[in-house]
Every structure is written in C-alpha cells, then in structure tokens.
C-alpha cells in the first residue's frame, strides 16, 4: 500500500537519515545537556508513524504511535523547558529545537492546524520571555545573534531588520558592527551579494546563523554554495562522532551534526521551490475513484481555511457525502462530494444534491461543494446557481481548473498522486 507519508513525499530528504540513524541511536549521550536525544527520538517516531498511512488516518488517533500523539509530545517537551532559564543561554539549545520545528512545520500544519498554531504560540511566548530577561544576563554577541536567528525562523523581513538594527545599536562599538551592517544590507537589498567564503573566518554558531539568513533571503547561487559549505561540516562532525571517546563530547558533536543536517535539508527543500513549478494539465482521470476522493481529502486538509476534515468513504456513500469539513471562519459544516466521472451533467448535479439534502440538514451545514475531475460547463454552473437560489445552502463547484490551482501549490500532492518531480 502506498503511504502518504512515505520517504519520497511528505518526508522527502529524510532518507539520508536511514544510513546513520541506527548507528547514532546506539551512541550514549547526555540529553540533559542538549535536546539532541529528545529531538532525535521525535524524528524517529515521526518517520515511523503509522498515522501517515492513508487508512490509519481514519482510525483512532489516540494510538501511542499516532502523529497526533507525537505532536502532543513535542508540545509537552516545549512546556517542560519553557521556564528553564539555564537552557536559555545555551547557544545551540534553541537553535536546534527551532530548526527541528521549522523543518517539520509544514507536515505538522498539514495534519493539525490547531497543534501547529499551539506550538508557534508557545515558542513566541518563550522568545518574549527571553527578550525580557536577556538584559539581566551576562550575554555576548554570539548568544544574542543565535537566539534571534533561532526564534525569527518563521518571521518576515521586517522582524529580522528590526532585530538586527537593535543588535547593531547594542554592539555598535565592537568588532561585530561591520558584520551586522552587512547582514542588514543583505536582508534589505534583494540583489546584495553575500560572501560565503568568509564563513570560515567566524565560529560555528555564527556560520550557522548566516546560513539560516541565506535560507530565508538568499538567491539560488548563495543557497547552492551554502549547501556545499554545510556538507563539508556535516562530514567533519560525523567523523568526530565516530571517533570521539568521551560521551559528553560525542553528545556535543551529535548536537552539531543534527543542527547541520536539519539546516542542509531545509536548504535543499528551498532550492526545489526556487524553480518555478510548471506542470502540464493534471489528469485526474488517471486516478481511481478512491484516489480522486483521497486527493480531494488532502486538498481540504492542506487548505488552512478548513478544519476537522473527515473522509467518510464507503460509510458516507449511501447518503451522498464523501467528505465532511468545517470552515475555520465560522465553524460551520460543509458536505463535499468527489466525482471523477467524465460526463457529469446538470441532471447528475441535481440528482447528487437530492442525495445530500437530508445530511445538510442533519449537520446544520452552511453549504455543499461538488469537486469534479473535468472542467465545469456553463450549464452545470447555472444548475448550481439555480439550486442555491431555491435552497438555504451555499453551493460551490470546484472543477479541474480549480483543483489544479490548489494542487500545484503543494509539491507533496504532485509527487504523491501524479509522480511529479520538480525540475
């Protein structure tokens, strides 16, 4: 059975861990000093999670190994370290946690918008507390630089510029002033070149911070150069992990290796999105009726305007509903049908609508959406308008053009259902 969460779709890139993960989990290291062990554990659980199997999604989500359970564990972990001040001034601690969350954020959001928002809110609260407390610390440029980079990963250009301008004022008479000015120029000016060759003149945490800035604001060439730079560091730290004799030192190297690896995967992911996705007309008739229902399910799961998406499958077919979902804006139900028929006419629409009328009433629904694999004719759309006028429910028709517009935004869906590989 094809898995929605297979290595070649949602978790693309993580096949690189297969070569090292068994070996690295056998190496003892101290999780109380660094989050590496916990984060590695979360990574393994996500990779092995049965909830990513299309049939498991429809079963009990309270299983020990469900994706929902893993997300709850991540939230619980963040809560436990929320008020541990001694961890705040560890340069790599929050960098590693935020890189982990940032890499998995799309996948977490895809399965649970609410949990994703909860994680982001908790991290924002921690960042606020750090900024309030940092004036009482004996801090240095490296620490404040990395803390800022770590917690700004999801933020926009303005937030970055505001942070670095404040940092510039604080360290204006230091040797770091020139670097901060270069960073501000780099973020402000889209075409400003960033000299990656100078990375080696700085220490590891500064280098990683600069790579993250390139991840956020860099061009194609800068990202490619950063990947080459990271690969050399990743190989170096893997060698150190293998040959280090002291457990604590091994733990330090594992922490660095994990941070570098997550960052490399993020850069590779960004590099793919730089190339414009040009997809020939998607052929939904190449999908089986069940697969067509499944892609409609994932379209609604992917769109942030919908929540509580349920795929009813055979259980809902008798009463006409394939999917049930709620609008985020008003918490109202919509009934959704997926029809892959090549000839779907006005009469077909009226017939299908009659099937779902009772269900619309049962769920106090706001409306009904028909998703079809072909382009909708004017006659079909007029039929929808006619039915809407005669009833109290909204009626929408999503045809092939509408579906294409959505699916092309999600490479994971292109790969999963159409075997499309970005150029």
Q: pLDDT per residue over 131-144, tens digit each?
A: 888 877 777 888 88
Give pLDDT, residue 137: 74
Give pLDDT, residue 63: 45
Give pLDDT, residue 195: 61
Tokens 């028909």, residue located? 370
Please tell me whether residue 25 adopts helix, strand or coil conformation. helix
CA 219 to chain CA centroid, Å, is 21
Token duo for residue 13? 């890139």
Give pLDDT, residue 24: 65
Determine if the pTM surpasses 0.85.
no
Give pLDDT, residue 1: 21
Query: Which domains does the chain possess?
Result: 14-154+193-274 (no CATH), 284-418 (3.40.91.50)
Q: pLDDT per residue over 4-17, tens digit each?
A: 333 233 344 445 55
Instruction: State the Cα–Cα distance between residues 361 and 391, nearest whole angstrom.
Output: 11
E strands, 272-378, where?
A: 306-311, 323-327, 333-339, 367-372
Give pLDDT, residue 387: 92
Instruction: State the Cα–Cα distance between residues 27 and 126, nearest whole angstrom.
Output: 31
Give pLDDT, residue 10: 38
Q: Longest C-alpha distance within the chain, in Å?
A: 77
- 358 class by beta-carbon count within 10 Å (0-12 exposed, 13-18 middle, 19+ buried): exposed
How many other CB atoms sit within 10 Å of the CB of residue 373? 23
The pLDDT averaged over each successive group of 10 residues in the chain (423 residues) is 31 49 58 66 70 44 59 86 69 86 79 83 89 78 89 91 92 87 83 56 80 88 86 85 75 81 84 60 87 90 84 56 86 93 90 90 93 91 91 91 84 78 53
How many other CB atoms sit within 10 Å of the CB of residue 387? 18
- 108 class by beta-carbon count within 10 Å (0-12 exposed, 13-18 middle, 19+ buried): buried
């Amino acid at each position: 059975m094809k898995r929605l969460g297979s290595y070649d779709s949602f978790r693309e890139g993580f096949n690189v861990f297969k070569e090292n993960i068994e070996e690295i989990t056998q190496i003892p290291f101290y999780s109380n000093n660094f989050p590496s062990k916990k984060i590695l554990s979360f990574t393994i659980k996500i990779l092995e999670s049965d909830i990513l199997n299309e049939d498991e999604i429809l079963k009990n989500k309270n299983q020990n190994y469900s994706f929902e359970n893993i997300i709850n564990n991540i939230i619980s972990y963040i809560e436990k370290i929320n008020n541990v001040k001694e961890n705040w001034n560890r340069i790599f601690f929050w960098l590693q946690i935020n890189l982990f969350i940032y890499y998995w954020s799309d996948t977490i959001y895809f399965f649970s918008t609410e949990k994703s928002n909860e994680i982001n809110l908790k991290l924002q609260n921690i960042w606020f507390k750090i900024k309030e407390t940092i004036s009482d610390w004996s801090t240095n440029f490296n620490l404040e630089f990395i803390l800022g980079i770590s917690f700004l990963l999801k933020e926009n250009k303005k937030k970055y510029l505001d942070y670095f301008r404040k940092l510039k004022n604080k360290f204006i008479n230091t040797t770091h002033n020139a670097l901060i000015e270069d960073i501000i120029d780099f973020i402000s000016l889209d075409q400003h070149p960033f000299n990656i060759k100078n990375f080696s003149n700085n220490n590891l945490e500064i280098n990683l911070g600069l790579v993250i800035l390139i991840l956020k604001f860099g061009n194609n060439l800068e990202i490619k150069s950063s990947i080459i730079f990271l690969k050399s560091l990743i190989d170096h730290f893997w060698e150190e992990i293998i040959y280090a004799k002291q457990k604590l030192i091994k733990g330090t190297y594992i922490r660095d290796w994990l941070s570098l690896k997550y960052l490399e995967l993020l850069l590779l992911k960004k590099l793919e999105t730089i190339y414009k996705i040009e997809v020939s007309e998607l052929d939904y008739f190449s999908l089986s009726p069940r697969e067509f229902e499944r892609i409609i399910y994932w379209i609604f799961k992917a769109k942030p305007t919908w929540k509580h998406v349920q795929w009813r499958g055979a259980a809902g077919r008798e009463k006409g509903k394939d999917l049930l979902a709620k609008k985020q804006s008003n918490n109202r139900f919509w009934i959704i049908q997926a029809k892959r028929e090549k000839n779907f006419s006005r009469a077909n629409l009226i017939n299908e609508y009659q099937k779902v009328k009772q269900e619309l009433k049962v769920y106090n629904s706001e409306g009904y959406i028909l998703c079809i694999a072909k382009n909708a004719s004017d006659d079909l759309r007029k039929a929808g308008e006619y039915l809407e006028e005669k009833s109290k429910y909204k009626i929408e028709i999503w045809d092939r053009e509408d579906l294409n517009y959505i699916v092309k935004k999600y490479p994971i869906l292109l790969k999963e259902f159409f075997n499309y590989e970005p150029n």
